[in-house]
């Protein structure tokens, strides 16, 4: 890295393993909440693992890491799920809690959550 160059969010967070850990913790919180049971119904363990890997790859890539996200765009992958504003807020709380658990600094935490926020209009369905 050249002197004066700012390291990516990916590097500042600690790289792939930290991002994967944050996503695993986030998904664990999400899946343990009975309000979100409908999102896991009828999915095989393989489908659940594939979705997890896609999220890790996407966040790794969006944070400036070397990953390649090969999934669909957010609007397409969330269409028809009827995700509400309350569900969105709960997910943001789960993401923030996962970042806190891993001791992610305030600046990096805000940048990571901002990645989520930029897709909100593609994920939350308007009533």
Domain boundaries, the chain: 10-123
Query: What average pLDDT score do residues 45-61 get?
Result: 96
Task: Answer whether residue 76 shows pLDDT above 70.
Answer: yes
Report, in this order, helix, strand and coil percent for the chain, each rounded to 5.
65, 0, 35
- Fold designation for 10-123: Globin-like (1.10.490)
Length of the chain: 127
| 34 DSSP 8-state letter | G
Helix axes 45-62, 16-32, angle to 10 degrees: 130
Give the pLDDT confidence score for residue 6 in this predicted structure: 87
Task: Answer whether residue 127 shows pLDDT above 90.
Answer: no
Kindly report whether the global pTM for this prediction surpasses the value 0.85. Answer: yes
Query: What average pLDDT score do residues 25-29 get?
Result: 97
Reported as half-sphere exposure (CB side, CA atoms, 13 A), residue 5 has a value of: 6
As a whole number of angstroms, the distance between CA 69 and CA 92 comes to 21
Task: Answer whether residue 4 shows pLDDT above 80.
Answer: no
């Amino acid at each position: 890295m050249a002197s004066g160059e700012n390291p990516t969010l990916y590097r500042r967070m600690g790289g792939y393993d930290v991002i994967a850990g944050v996503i695993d913790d986030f998904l664990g919180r999400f899946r343990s909440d009975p309000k979100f049971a409908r999102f896991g119904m009828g999915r095989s363990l393989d489908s659940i693992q594939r979705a997890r890997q896609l999220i890790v790859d996407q966040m790794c890539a969006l944070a400036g890491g070397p990953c390649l996200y090969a999934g669909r765009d957010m609007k397409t992958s969330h269409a028809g799920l009827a995700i509400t504003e309350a569900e969105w807020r709960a997910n943001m709380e789960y993401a923030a809690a996962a970042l806190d658990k891993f001791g992610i600094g305030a600046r990096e935490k805000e940048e990571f959550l901002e990645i989520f926020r930029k897709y909100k209009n593609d994920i939350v369905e308007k009533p």
